Structure 1
């Protein structure tokens, strides 16, 4: 095999292959021998079919098998022998046919990992938000916890109000005709939850037990059922029961439901959790600013394959996060397609940042040592509440261990850069001034898909 390598760009190479005729002939013989074992041709016994006959009936299959094997074998051999850091799959630009007695040639274009040499990465000027604890947060979290433990009980109040849970019968009509999925009986609805189409719940507020009412609404233009989208509808609603939320008292008994003995302990636990989250957020924002500065000073051309891989990783992350909350991306209108569109620039920034940090680590000879690896494994085991032996076994694999070492090295590089940086503390941003997080749902996907009428479908 002969291979010529051409540089197309800083992230692309073209490989021109020539496979000798004798190697081609060997592969042709192997292919026909394999095909001949199972081939069925009238007038011939299996395994006894002459090659000339096999060529006539199975020539196309032979050519495909030989072409695939030759490309696969020679391509990976060339990558190994020439230490080409390929990312993604090769693009086969051209290839000759498989002909006995003739050499086989083909061209492949590949994307490669960029060779980054970082510069101007020390003594960077950065602004860090000063952490100031907000006393309102603790009260807000306690109230959320009380609400989560609320019981729904019948009320003596005559009229339903927002926040109540009501039991209703309903049936929807468009142009006077009942539509599929528009009927429900003994349906429990929390007023103000937004689980029915806009305008429905507002008109149920104020109804009394046994009241009957025509609720007039218009289906949103983006409604999931195309035949209803944008159309006016009338729902005949009957109020059957009105229930209200009763929240527990904020006392020691309440605190015991969360695994502590006193309310003071619960408050201390929540305060610690809040402060840890906020400090991590501030540190995360500082890291983002650091990486942003590095990218400004060290522009990197990023291969498409690395962008695609990062987008897949990000999408999988958001899916897992939503699944843990009992949600699906589709519920927020997030699809793989609009996610890729909205997050492409973020993915490019993240890959660029990783490449630059990796380059700095290499230039500064920053690596993970055994004690740091052991400490990280202990940390992972604690966070996952898993036995340390199980964690060590998982990270004993070459790929997992390599990834862990890269993660530790990157953390050390960031610490090294922050130690040399000129960091100025600034007042915390007001809520309305805060920049949206880059991992938030895409703007185009933020509008929640309207639900159907029956059981959350109206």
Structure 2
């Protein structure tokens, strides 16, 4: 086999492969033998048809059947022999003809990791948010805990309002015709949750119990069901019940539900957790700032295959999180194309970051020690209350171990870069204050 490699770009190579004639002959012979087992030719028993007859009647099929194995059996050997590591499926762009007694040629394009020499990764100027603990956050989280344990109770109020959970029947129509999956009975909907089509919940608010109403909305242009995307719809809605949340008192009883003896102990736990989480958030933001600065100083091409692989990973992760909440991408009005458009910049940044950290690790001769791996595995066991032997068993899987070592190496390289950076602490960004007048919108109207 002869192979010639042409570099098309920093991320793509073309292989010109010539498979020897004797290999072609053997593959053709194998193809004819398979055809002979099933060929039904008058005057011959199956499996006993002479090759010359098969060549006359099935020559084209044999050539076709032999082409795939000839490429598959030679392409990956050609890449290995030439130290080419593909990051996506190779693409065969041109093939010759499979002929008895002749060599077979084809061309394939392969995406490869770019060979990067990272630069300007020391002395980066970075900003880090100054963390100052806000005592008021404890009260806020206590209120959130209480609200999360609120019970729904039927209210005597006549009108539904934002925050209520209503029980409704509805039927949806487009152009006067009820559409598929557009109706439900005894549907429970929290007003203000934005879980329905935009504009729907706003129009249910203000309805009375047992009231029937026609609600007009428009499906988003990027709605998951393409036959409904961008179309106007009318929903006939009947409001059957109004429920409101009744929040428990914030006291020692609530603390006991949270596995604390007293309210003061619960407050202290909340404070400790908040400090841990906020410290992690600040450090994560610093890490993100570092990666952004590093990428800006190092321009290079990224293989499309690596971006697509990362997009698939992001989509799978996001879909799993939604599934845990009983939701899907389609329920958010997002299809595969919309997800790819929204998250492609993130995927590209993550791939660039990974490639740069790998390059810096090689340039600085950074590596992960066995003791560091053992320490992290023990940490996993402690944090998850899982027997150490069970966690160790999991990481006997080569893929899991490689993933762990990759994560540890990325952390080590990131620390190396940040330790040599010029880090300036900055005040945290203040959230925009709401207009005082907006509170008026929450004032409950008197009802007769």
TM-score when normalising by structure 1: 0.84
**Equivalent residue, structure 1, for 2:216:** 218
2-structure distance, mates of 1:399, 1:295: 28
1-structure distance, mates of 2:251, 2:81: 71
Q: 1:55 to 1:134 in 2, by over 3 A?
A: farther
RMSD, aligned CA = 3.0
1-structure distance, mates of 2:171, 2:103: 75
1:134-163 deviation per Cα after TM superposition (whole angstroms, max 9, x unaligned): 333322222222122112234455555443
**Equivalent residue, structure 2, for 1:425:** 425
Answer yes or no: is the 8 Å Cα contact 2:215–2:237 preserved in 1: no
**Equivalent residue, structure 2, for 1:391:** 391
How do 1:115-264 residues align onto structure 2 when only pairs under 5 Å count? 115-157=115-157, 160-167=160-167, 179=178, 188-194=188-194, 212=211, 215-222=213-220, 226=228, 229-231=231-233, 233=234, 235=236, 237=238, 241-264=241-264
1-structure distance, mates of 2:89, 2:121: 33
Q: 1:129 to 1:35 in 2, by over 3 A?
A: same
2-structure distance, mates of 1:27, 1:173: 61
**Equivalent residue, structure 2, for 1:52:** 52
1-structure distance, mates of 2:149, 2:45: 78
Q: 1:60 to 1:263 in 2, by over 3 A?
A: farther
**Equivalent residue, structure 2, for 1:31:** 31
**Equivalent residue, structure 1, for 2:351:** 351
2-structure distance, mates of 1:422, 1:249: 48
1:198 Cα deviation after fit = 5.8
1-structure distance, mates of 2:382, 2:11: 41
2-structure distance, mates of 1:39, 1:398: 46
**Equivalent residue, structure 2, for 1:448:** none
1:240 Cα deviation after fit = 5.3
Answer yes or no: is the 8 Å Cα contact 1:154–1:243 preserved in 2: yes
**Equivalent residue, structure 2, for 1:68:** 68
**Equivalent residue, structure 2, for 1:6:** 6
Q: 1:42 to 1:350 in 2, by over 3 A?
A: same
1:337 aligns to 2:347 (yes or no): no
1:25 Cα deviation after fit = 1.0
1:1-50 deviation per Cα after TM superposition (whole angstroms, max 9, x unaligned): 01111111111111111112122112211222233234443432222121
1:51 Cα deviation after fit = 1.2
1:370 Cα deviation after fit = 0.5
1:418 Cα deviation after fit = 1.1
SS at match of 1:392: helix
| Structure 2: gaps of 5 or more residues | 434-448
1:275 Cα deviation after fit = 2.1
2-structure distance, mates of 1:5, 1:198: 55
1:416 Cα deviation after fit = 1.0
SS at match of 2:76: helix
Aligned length: 428
SS at match of 1:249: coil
1-structure distance, mates of 2:146, 2:254: 8
**Equivalent residue, structure 1, for 2:43:** 43
Q: 1:203 to 1:18 in 2, by over 3 A?
A: closer
2-structure distance, mates of 1:353, 1:337: 24
2-structure distance, mates of 1:35, 1:376: 57
Q: 1:266 to 1:54 in 2, by over 3 A?
A: farther
SS at match of 2:244: strand
1:75 Cα deviation after fit = 1.2
1:335-366 deviation per Cα after TM superposition (whole angstroms, max 9, x unaligned): 22112222222222211111111111011111
2-structure distance, mates of 1:228, 1:335: 14
SS at match of 2:232: coil
How do 1:377-388 residues align onto structure 2 when only pairs under 5 Å count? 377-388=377-388
Report which structure shows greater RCO (CA 8 Å, sep ≥6): 1
Q: Which moved more, 1:419-428 or 1:69-78?
A: 69-78
1:91 Cα deviation after fit = 1.8
1:126 Cα deviation after fit = 0.8
Q: 1:26 to 1:242 in 2, by over 3 A?
A: closer
Q: 1:298 to 1:190 in 2, by over 3 A?
A: closer
**Equivalent residue, structure 1, for 2:18:** 18
Answer yes or no: is the 8 Å Cα contact 1:154–1:244 preserved in 2: yes
Answer yes or no: is the 8 Å Cα contact 2:322–2:329 preserved in 1: yes
Q: Which moved more, 1:318-327 or 1:390-399?
A: 390-399
| Structure 1: gaps of 5 or more residues | 434-458
